[in-house]
Chain A
Amino acid sequence: RKEVEQDPGPFNVPEGATVAFNCTYSNSASQSFFWYRQDCRKEPKLLMSVYSSGNEDGRFTAQLNRASQYISLLIRDSKLSDSATYLCVVNKRSYIPTFGRGTSLIVHP
């Protein structure tokens, strides 16, 4: 089993839709979790950290489920500009994070 797994997609949704991605991780000792966004032919950029209590930033909500070892990202009211690849990042007690392969989102008019 890979350390961090994501459904590659693509998730193809209309504008205004709500879409959710999951990311599973194999190491129960993992300490910190993040979602990064990567636009086509661009570098990854931090979208949000993921906390045990869950956190929200505008239309984006991130959740952590330690018991089932997954994190999720929910995007409400999708915009065309949300089209990108969303990378899950998991970090054990280490300075070297593990990146998932990413989930591709395409928002169409």
Chain B
Amino acid sequence: GAGVSQSPSNKVTEKGKDVELRCDPISGHTALYWYRQSLGQGLEFLIYFQGNSAPDKSGLPSDRFSAERTGGSVSTLTIQRTQQEDSAVYLCASSLSSPAGVYETQYFGPGTRLLVL
């Protein structure tokens, strides 16, 4: 079946512009995660959605970052007034469900490579 898809695959933007990154999770997966991976670094958690619950935004690095998930499926990560340090690969992952205390296998999308000039 279809995996997690993300768009665009690459994005080059100028400092100060806003960008929107999209994630389509696997159908039926209620949990959705956004991560950021800078060159040679590990995955940095950004935000987590689970069903209709309020998202866990504890990993968002600044108020320039926001995300939403419409209809419990597609999610959009928005970065306002981009800075050069925002350049990274933004990865989305989904899993069947993640009740507290349980970790389900995550399936990652191919990522969006963002370059801020």
Q: Which residues of A are in contact with B by a Cβ distance under 8 Å? A: 4, 8, 31-32, 34, 42-46, 87, 91, 93-102
Chain B interface, number of residues (Cβ within 8 angstroms): 26
A100 and B40 CA atoms in complex are apart in Å by 11
Q: Is the interface of B mostly helix, strand, loop or mixed?
A: loop
Q: Which 6 A-B pairs have the closest CB atoms?
A: A95-B98, A43-B108, A101-B42, A99-B43, A91-B103, A93-B101
A91 and B48 CA atoms in complex are apart in Å by 15
A45 and B109 CA atoms in complex are apart in Å by 10
Q: Is the interface of A mostly helix, strand, loop or mixed?
A: loop
B-side contacts of A93, CB under 8 Å: 100-101
A-B interface contact total, Cβ < 8 Å? 53
List 25 A-B pairs, Cβ < 8 Å.
A8-B40, A34-B103, A34-B105, A43-B108, A43-B109, A43-B111, A44-B43, A44-B91, A46-B106, A87-B42, A93-B100, A94-B101, A95-B99, A95-B103, A96-B45, A96-B48, A96-B56, A96-B59, A97-B103, A99-B35, A99-B42, A99-B43, A101-B40, A101-B41, A101-B42
Closest CB of chain B to A101's CB: distance in Å?
Answer: 4
Q: Cβ of B108 and Cβ of A44 under 8 Å apart? A: yes
